[in-house]
Amino acid sequence: MDVLIVGGGLSGLAVAAFLGARGVACTVLEQEREVPRAPRNHLLTDATMRLLGSAGLDEPVRRIALDHAGRLFALNTLADAERTLLRTPTGGVSCNEHELEVLMLAEATRLGAEVRMGVRAADLDAEYVIAADDGTIRDSLGIGVHGSGTLGHLHTIRFRAELEERDGFLVRAVGGILLPEEPGTWSLSVPEAGDPGELVVKALGADMPVDLLGVTVTEVAARVADTFVHRRVVLMAKSAYTLPPAPGLHGNARIRDAYRLAEILGGEAPLDAYDRERRPAADQAMADALKERYSP
Ligand SMILES: Cc1cc2nc3c(=O)[nH]c(=O)nc-3n(C[C@H](O)[C@H](O)[C@H](O)COP(=O)(O)OP(=O)(O)OC[C@H]3O[C@@H](n4cnc5c(N)ncnc54)[C@H](O)[C@@H]3O)c2cc1C
């Protein structure tokens, strides 16, 4: 079987690893030269860990899991003693998406995938094309989308600071979310652009030494493709859907998509089963994400 995966993000690498575990080789093209450092998904549920286990990834993931309780509190600034608990995850592990993708890339390669970093896909000449890209392939095929569309942007500041905390926080002073990343490193995601240093100081509620590492801007959108399968092209990642960050675990849904697609390509069901099963799941996740969005 000839499988070309366009986009080596979480979705593309996950499907490559799951296919590899079934003995199906594939080629992954990723336009970036390196796995991005930007803070993204954290929580991997127990169900996701079981899926990762099928490709031998559960133990390595546990080894790189963050010492992060996964709880989310609301407070005015980090200097505040008064905190309201918003979420305590039951089970699962907390893992930085960068570390997870580095691991998946290594595992997919070990299982037979050819992952070509720094290569932008130009033609889609393969028996099966998996569009795990940013929506470009979906648009080029004329596949429409539905949902609320663009809702705003998330400005994520990555910084280093000596903080004693291990939890995540919804910080009212900046209307943003502060999360622990790799040891000593934090991310602050806010809905408005601003001076990163000032925003971090305002969120911490204390003028302490902070080392700014970078800012990434992500579109916040609610958008699902009208079909996930077009002839031999299968949509994943943002080509399939973009959901607003919310308690809904979108990174976990991406891994479920990848697992099911590997099963289907392995012969467990016809290709259109992926559209029949995963598109309604994405529509439901979009409705949940819109309903459950935290507001400071
Ligand atoms: C700040 C932030 C916080 C988040 N927090 C959470 C969370 O707490 N829980 C949760 O569940 N989810 C969270 N998410 C969402 C989750 O991380 C994403 O769902 C995940 O990154 C999606 O990965 P992906 O592979 O599906 O898409 P992407 O990461 O967008 O990957 C697509 C890849 O395709 C590549 N590409 C595009 N076009 C081409 C081309 N022509 N040729 C080659 N390569 C191409 C791109 O370079 C990119 O690497 C968060 C996201 C952000 C930004």
Show pLDDT as tens, one digit a residue, over the chain (296 residues). Answer: 899 999 999 999 999 999 999 999 999 999 999 999 888 888 899 999 999 999 999 999 999 887 766 788 999 999 998 999 988 877 888 888 899 999 999 999 999 999 999 999 988 889 999 999 999 999 999 999 999 999 999 999 999 999 988 889 999 999 999 998 888 899 999 998 999 999 999 999 988 889 999 999 999 999 999 999 999 999 999 999 999 876 556 889 999 999 999 999 999 999 999 999 999 999 999 998 888 765 44
Report the pLDDT value the prediction gives residue 296, as an integer from 0 to 100: 41
CB 181 within 8 A of CB 84: no
Token couple for 183: 């040891």
Report the pLDDT value the prediction gives residue 276, as an integer from 0 to 100: 98
Closest CA to 76 of 174, 167, 164: 174
Which residue range forms the structural domain that includes residue 264?
3-43+59-67+96-149+222-294
Q: How far is CA 107 from CA 53, 111, 268, in A?
A: 12, 6, 23
CATH number, residue 255? 3.50.50.60
Report the nearest-CA residue for atom 37 of ligand 1. 133
Neighbours of 25 (CB within 10 A): 14
Query: Which atom of ligand 1 lies nearest, measured to the CA of 218?
Result: 53
Q: Give the whole-angstrom CA distance, residue 282 versus residue 287.
A: 9
Interval between CA 134 and ligand 1 midpoint (Å): 8
Number of structural domains the chain divides into? 1
pTM of the model: 0.92
Report the pLDDT value the prediction gives residue 244, as an integer from 0 to 100: 86
187: in domain: no
Interval between CA 198 and ligand 1 midpoint (Å): 27
Report the pLDDT value the prediction gives residue 295, as an integer from 0 to 100: 47
233: in domain: yes
214: in domain: no
Interval between CA 254 and ligand 1 midpoint (Å): 9
Interval between CA 79 and ligand 1 midpoint (Å): 32
Strands (E), the chain: 3-6, 27-30, 43-44, 72-75, 84-87, 93-94, 114-117, 128-131, 145-160, 168-171, 176-180, 185-190, 211-225, 229-230, 233-235, 241-242
212: in domain: no
213: in domain: no
255: in domain: yes
Length of the chain: 296
Q: Give the whole-angstrom CA distance, residue 175 versus residue 296.
A: 5
195: in domain: no
Closest CA to 153 of 126, 189, 112, 179: 189
Query: Which atom of ligand 1 lies nearest, measured to the CA of 11?
Result: 25
Query: Which atom of ligand 1 lies nearest, measured to the CA of 10?
Result: 25
Q: Give the whole-angstrom CA distance, residue 218 versus residue 215.
A: 10
Report the pLDDT value the prediction gives residue 68, as an integer from 0 to 100: 67
Query: Which atom of ligand 1 lies nearest, measured to the CA of 154?
Result: 1
Query: What burial class does residue 218 get, using C-beta atoms within 10 Å of its C-beta: 0-12 exposed, 13-18 middle, 19+ buried?
Result: middle
23: in domain: yes
